Amino acid sequence: MAKNARVQPVALVVDDDAGLRKFGEMMVEAAGFRPETAASGVEALAMIQRINPAVVLLDLQMPGKDGIDVMHGMAAAKCTAKLVIFSGNDRRTLEVSAEIARQRGLTVVASFKKPVAADKLRQVLNGLSLELCPFDEARLRECLEQDLLRLHYQPKIDLATREICGVEALLRCQDATGRVISPESILAIAEQCGAVDEISHAIFASAIGQRRDWSRAGLDLGMAVNLSARGAMNPDLPDRLFDLCVKAEVPPEAITVELTETAVMNDSLLAMETLVRLRLRGFELSIDDFGTGYSSLVRLQQLPFSELKIDKSFVTTRQKSPENSVIIRTLAQLAQNLDLKCVVEGVEDEVTLDFVASLGCNAAQGYFVAPALPPDGIPRFVKEWHTRQKWQRNRNARQQQQVQNPPQQASQAAAE
């Protein structure tokens, strides 16, 4: 209902190449725009005043009237559309063209050299879409009414066995216009309009229900769920979560509640009580994004956490900034000294995985293992990961055996 009630901003895709027009059309549609296309500069100029686009995706090189002509026409028509330009030519040509457009009073938001990286274009279009139609309370309500909030699950591996030991539930949403909305935006709006408790409950209910379903299918994974700062101030939370677990026959020990460092480092007695109660009911408690806030070590020791999660900002940039390895090592040691399980997030390559394993960290997650996957992708992923590990272990064993007992032929040949 609401989808049609709103005026959807128009994005005009101008390209003489039919394939690229189709690609542009799909991209703008996914970002929540109503797509229009033009196969030439002439066609584009004829359309611009009529359709009043909010965004124009413009190819510079076209037979007949080219992209520069279209820019001329747009400027003459005082078109306020945001311009995204494309060209198969070099960067310099693109930059000069963008400058010409600016000098003519047009707003260029991005320029792309072909072939266009879909994720970069997606990011630009999503940003524009959110600028033109911000994700607000009405949009959030629409998402709740239409049941558009989803959980995806990012696998975590046990660093001792290298097998999948759990997942972290992460919020995902495409709003009614199809735009991808970040979990942070959803939670910020939910916080503003007082829907955060309702959403938080739905998230826990869904994650715990998922844990039950996997468990019934023979897959027992740890389930980590994020809790917002406000959630920690809700004294009913421990009982509500416990009830969810009882109903689903899921042991609370299988559920880890993740709270950011900043969320718990104020001196709120209420938050302390909620955390202690969660532990008393059997839930694991993880301090998330560790290293980014201002926790004092004394405070950390006073709080009832069972796990410390090293923030991805140190981990993803480790190869570029060697001092981050020192920070990771220090945080891993801190976790050990405080008798906390240590999880590392943001592991994007094997070298980093081996590094954090060598530090004695317990578990890791990151794009090297997998991004967050939809729920039905998890059982298959766990199986494939297990097969891959087994294969690697066998290969390593064979290689080791060869080093210890080189094949006879090789040693004979060497002797001759």
Positions touching Ca ion (CB under 5 A) are 226, 258, 288-289
Indicate which of ligand C2E, Ca ion, none lies near residue 171 (CB less than 5 to 8 Å, by partner kind): ligand C2E
Residue 72: partners with Cβ closer than 8 Å, 6 or more residues away: 104
| Site residue total, ligand C2E (CB under 6 A) | 23
Q: Which run of H or E residues covers position 391?
A: helix 378-404
Shortest distance, position 310 Cβ to Ca ion, whole Å: 9
Q: Which of 184, 339, 376, 416 binds ligand C2E (CB under 6 A)?
A: 184
Burial of 281 (0-12, 13-18, 19+ CB in 10 A): middle
Terminal-to-terminal C-alpha distance of the chain = 85
* From the list Ca ion, ligand C2E, none, partner contacted by residue 348 (C-beta under 5 to 8 A by kind): ligand C2E
Please, what's the largest Cα pairwise distance for the chain? 87
Instruction: Report if residue 324 touches ligand C2E, rule: CB under 6 A.
Output: no
Q: Kindly state whether residue 284 participates in binding ligand C2E, applying the rule CB under 6 A.
A: no
Place of tokens 């503003």: 192
CA proximity to 42, closest of 24, 61, 63, 57: 63
Q: To the nearest whole angstrom, how small is the minimum distance from the Cβ of residue 170 to ligand C2E?
A: 4
Segment interacting with ligand C2E (CB under 6 A) among 45-53, 168-176, 300-308, 399-407: 168-176
Residue 316 as a binder of ligand C2E (CB under 6 A): the answer is yes
Q: Which of residues 212-241 bind ligand C2E (CB under 6 A)?
A: 226-228
By CB under 6 A, is residue 346 in contact with ligand C2E? yes
Q: How far is the CB of 215 from ligand C2E (least distance, A)?
A: 20
H or E element, residue 238:
helix 237-248
In 204-306 the beta strands, taken as DSSP E runs, fall at: 222-226, 255-260, 284-290
Residue 385 sits at the vertex; the CA angle it makes with 381 and 391, to the nearest 5 degrees, is 150
Say whether residue 69 binds ligand C2E (CB under 6 A): no
My answer on whether omega of the bond before 115 falls inside 30° of 0, hence cis, is yes
Q: Report the residue from 178, 183, 360, 379 that binds ligand C2E according to the rule CB under 6 A.
A: 183
Q: Angle 41-51/67-76 helices, nearest 10 degrees?
A: 30
Our CB check for Ca ion shows the closer of 98 and 308 to be 308
- Rounded CA-CA distance 163/156 in Å is 8
Return the residue of 55, 83, 159, 203 that touches ligand C2E, per CB under 6 A. 203
186 versus 245: smaller Cβ distance to ligand C2E: 186
Binding stretches for ligand C2E (CB under 6 A) = 154, 169-171, 182-184, 187, 203, 226-228, 288-289, 312, 316, 345-348, 366-367, 372
